[in-house]
Chain A
């Protein structure tokens, strides 16, 4: 086996198709009930909602202009009047740039995962349900991509296609298709083994109908949970690419790029230089913890 990047290790996501417990009405109600009792997941979801809303409505928040530079106000420390999170190396307001930066960073984190979910999920479910030669063909191709560590793959794809937002999105999508495909394949194979799928086949229904009615409902949950955990990886990778100059181009505010440009300030004002990193950290850990919480809430076996 090729060496895999630990951040995308599917081994950690051996997803079990949940069996709901007795009592309570539908399955999703019981999942909701469990989520409501889980403070960590609730707090993480709350933080993410605030971040997303702030990014979307950034222009309406009455922030300073994130692009307006000033040679006089460079590297103000935290707590300065008018710039309570200070200013960056070009005198731009840090708070505004962090909020505006969330737009690109979150977008770069979520979009490739959603695209990969559509493509990888479809491939994985097809491979898992049909099995045999189709499975072999799809999964072996995925294994080839898998052979490269995800960071290396993302860097080389971006490097080959050139810097820019679209190319970053494209390369990240390609990076995430194999792991999602693999997880989808494994849960689908598991569901396919249940007798209710055999019973559906024995009823003479078409393959498409069986997949729609009997397979999707049982595999989407676990696949979504796994994909949520990938969003944090995507944010970090996107930031990393920008940091290396392979992603977003200046002067766009983006957390990874900000981390890069503030590099020089690390000796002058280390706290300020760390701020974009703090944002990346908070966002990715929230996505991770929320994914864990979701998995726990959906895995209602015993």
Chain B
């Protein structure tokens, strides 16, 4: 009998696999007298998201937008300052809910740096067996599982199990990282820039494998990336972040086909064109993303937004439904006070 069987579904297909409400994480910057924090990085601010069973939720944004912090909050490598999480109906880390360890049996993560995420002193087999053994799987069963995991990610167990990470190529290491994330048979995998460091030809191999694994094992993905093309390829729904806030959230067709927020539009048109006859003539927005230490008041995008008005500095726009997707922009809210606001 397998001691580490896959976790059974409880709430049925309609219940979100993971529901995070009002997540907030601020990092104090020590600096003042006696190491007292005088400033904070507002990495993630009151973020609410749900992940449906079997979907791939893409998260895009530029550096400093807090997407990696979201990943670490969802798997509780970081403790949120505020906010709740519910996994398939069970509140996490609360009196009547499940523990963080139980959350981690359901949720696993793949990191960007394939090298730093493998212990250089352990063989591939030792790395893969670590989690199952820590959960009490006997050595012989763990060995079987390692073999099974390696063949799942397309690596021949006989020739790879006893190698060290430095003897593998970047693509092979990332396959090992994915295998490790699968070791506890989780239901949700958070992929934090998991293919960003790979060469294009290898990236395609890994993307194909992720698609196959999802189908074969019935997985759910949260796919975090700065690469809009890859997110479009893989995701069912897309969440666009800017300075710790969601600016737009919706089905991939709506976000890419009919982006509503000025930031989403800018991001999309900043992609290189791939057509030498229709090169980009003008940058969609100027300047760099501001520092998340002191984000602008009101709408955080207003300092780079071509449509910014007084109202944007005064009132923070809330995420509002606009049909296909949700957008946090005053121009999409009837009667918001913005001159370009849609008619009521």
Contacts and interface: CB of A to CB of B under 8 A. Distances in A.
Nearest to A300: B166
B113 interface: yes
A21 interface: yes
A206 interface: yes
B131 A20 contact: no
A203 B131 contact: yes
Contact of B166 (A21, A194, A214): A21
Nearest to B190: A202
Contacts of B113: 195
A205 B120 contact: no
B117 interface: yes
A265 to B, nearest CB: 53
- Of the listed residues A20, A194, A199, A206, the one surrounded by the most CB atoms of chain B closer than 10 A to its CB is A199
A23 B75 CA distance: 35
Contact of A22 (B135, B167, B184): B167
B156 to A, nearest CB: 18
Contacts of A217: 119, 121-122
A123 B147 CA distance: 38
Interface size class of A (residues with CB under 8 A): 20 to 34
A33 interface: no
Nearest to B100: A204
Interface in B35-88: 72, 75, 77
B166 A198 contact: no
Contact of A203 (B116, B122, B134): B134
Contacts of B164: 20, 25-27
B261 interface: no
Interface in A189-235: 194-196, 198-206, 209, 213-214, 217-218
B256 interface: no
A209 B101 CA distance: 15
Contact of A19 (B127, B135, B166, B167): B166
A194 B135 contact: no
Given A194-B116, A206-B134, A217-B121, A201 B77 contact: yes
Given A199-B180, A202-B109, A204-B105, A209 B134 contact: yes
Contacts of B131: 200, 203-205
A195 B130 contact: no
A196 B104 CA distance: 15
B108 interface: yes
Contacts of B108: 202-203
B120 A20 contact: yes
B242 interface: no
Contacts of B127: 196
Interface in B122-175: 122, 127, 130-131, 134-135, 164, 166-167
Given A202-B75, A202-B108, A204-B101, A196 B119 contact: yes
Interface residues of B, number: 31
A218 B130 contact: no
Contact of A199 (B101, B111, B112): B111
Contacts of B184: 203-204
B102 to A, nearest CB: 8
A187 to B, nearest CB: 14
Contact of A202 (B104, B121, B135, B166): B104
A85 to B, nearest CB: 47
B249 to A, nearest CB: 25
Contacts of B115: 19
B206 interface: no
Interface in A1-38: 18-23, 25-27
Given A202-B77, A203-B130, A204-B101, A196 B117 contact: yes
A27 B112 CA distance: 24
Given A27-B121, A204-B105, A205-B130, A196 B116 contact: yes
Interface in B225-274: none
B219 interface: no
16 contacts: A19-B166, A23-B167, A27-B121, A196-B117, A196-B119, A199-B109, A199-B177, A200-B130, A202-B108, A203-B108, A204-B104, A204-B131, A205-B130, A209-B134, A214-B122, A217-B121
Interface of B: 72, 75, 77, 101, 104-105, 108-109, 111-113, 115-122, 127, 130-131, 134-135, 164, 166-167, 177, 180, 183-184
The 8 A-B residue pairs with the shortest CB-CB distance, nearest first, are A203-B131, A195-B117, A205-B134, A217-B121, A195-B111, A204-B101, A196-B119, A195-B116
